Each structure stands twice: as structure tokens, then as C-alpha cells.
Structure 1
């Protein structure tokens, strides 16, 4: 069964299911002849991941001094985001804690699990060799 959008000479529009594309168009309920028209675009919804963790508030002012409605709204949004990240881990990004983000590590933060000696030697001395005592 193929669904077609049809229109009669009087301007009535309707949808009809035909067994084949070669079948004749059905008549309109007013009795007039009909013709097939291009189907209208049906966009039911759009994909949206919601706000990222970076966009969520991190300060007391960001949640309007703890206003209950604002806190409730952000909690709902954060819960949705967590469920989405559980289903699609690639959206979560790097969740390791940042150990250093200033000075030599401003452009590339040092994160938990990074090879510490190599990163510090590279940032401090511009080399990847570990210092020996």
C-alpha cells in the first residue's frame, strides 16, 4: 500500500492508500476528479542532545541563589544528559578530573591518569625525558 496526497478541482486535499502506483486516483468525497500532489514535508521532531556539561551552571548565581524551580529544572536536564551519555558514551567527552590547568598546562590541562613525569618534563623543560636523580 502506497500513501498519496491527492487534491480535487475544488481544492479539497486528502491522503489515500493505493495498492499500486498504476492504480487510478480515487474520487474526492465531493465527487470531483483528483490528481496527485507532491507530499508535504513532515518533520515530527529534531534530534537535540540538550545542553552540554560545560553549559550547565557551576555557581550559586548560576542557579539563581538556589531558587527551587531553577534547581529542579537543571536537575531534570542533568539527569536527561546523564542518561544520554550512558547510552552514547562518545558524547560524555573526557570526564577525568583536571589536576593542573594553569601556567604550562593552560592550553593542555593535566588530567588524572596522564603520565605525570612525561607531561611535567615536557611542560617544564620542553622534553619528554624523565628527570633522573
Structure 2
């Protein structure tokens, strides 16, 4: 059985359950002919994966100066998120460690493996390899 949205030539809308997609459309109560219309979209029950790791507070002020309830709440959310990411790895996002996230990098943090990391190390330490001593 398939549920269809129907509209008659008189403008009435209604739903009907038909045995198959090849079944004839039923007539409206007013006696007018009907046509199938696209089903209405219900967006009220949209699924959400919840907050990601990027949404977590990363500063002392962001945690409201270490508020225990806020930290406990985020911990619970992230445990649930880890379970979800294990089941759906495409939700995991970028898990590489952040090397710099303040100042010039506040809008886009530098992560391990980024091309800018080697350049930053060269400018800061004069080398891109930790074994090289200047």
C-alpha cells in the first residue's frame, strides 16, 4: 500500500492509500477528477549529529572559567559524538593536532601536515627538521 497526496480540479487536497503505483486515482468527495501531487516536505524532525569537536570551547573563558557543569556537559556530548563518529567516520572531520590557533591563526588554525607548518618552522626556528641544529 502506498500513500499519495492528491488534488482535485476543484482545489481540494487529500491523501489516499492505493494498492500500487499503477492504480487509478480515486475521485474526490466532490466528484471531481484528481491528480497526484508531490508530497509535502516535513522538516520538523530533521536529524542532527550534534556539536562537533570544532564547536567545543578551547579557552578558559570559553569554559566559563572552568565551570564544572559546562565541562561535564561538553564531555557527555563528545562521548556521544565519538560513538557516532565510530559508526559514521565521515562525520569525524579533521582530527590532526592543532599547532597554532591564536593571533594570525585564530580564523584558520595551523594543523600538523599543513603546508604552512614547514614554512612557519623555517621562519621561527631556522629549520624544518627537528634534528637539524643551526
Normalising by structure 2, we get a TM-score of 0.54
Deviations 1:7-57 (A, max 9, x none): 343724123214343x332234x4633402312242455454433313201
What is the rounded CA distance, in whole Å, between the counterparts of 2:62 and 2:110 in structure 1? 26
**Corresponding position of 1:13:** 14
* 1:15-94 equivalent positions in 2, closer than 5 A: 15-21=16-22, 23-28=23-28, 30=29, 32-43=31-42, 45-46=45-46, 48-65=48-65, 66=67, 68=69, 70-90=70-90, 91-94=92-95
What is the rounded CA distance, in whole Å, between the counterparts of 1:110 and 1:7 in structure 2? 58
| Misfit runs of 4+, over 4 Å | 43-47, 106-111, 124-128
Whichever of the two has the greater Rg, that structure is: 1
1:85–1:92 Cα change, 3 Å = farther
Q: Is the 8 A contact 1:10 1:32 kept in 2?
A: no
What is the rounded CA distance, in whole Å, between the counterparts of 1:24 and 1:101 in structure 2? 65
Mark the runs of 5 or more structure 1 residues left unpaired by the alignment: 112-118
Normalising by structure 1, we get a TM-score of 0.54
* 1:94-105 equivalent positions in 2, closer than 5 A: 94-96=95-97, 101=100
CA RMSD, 1 decimal = 4.1
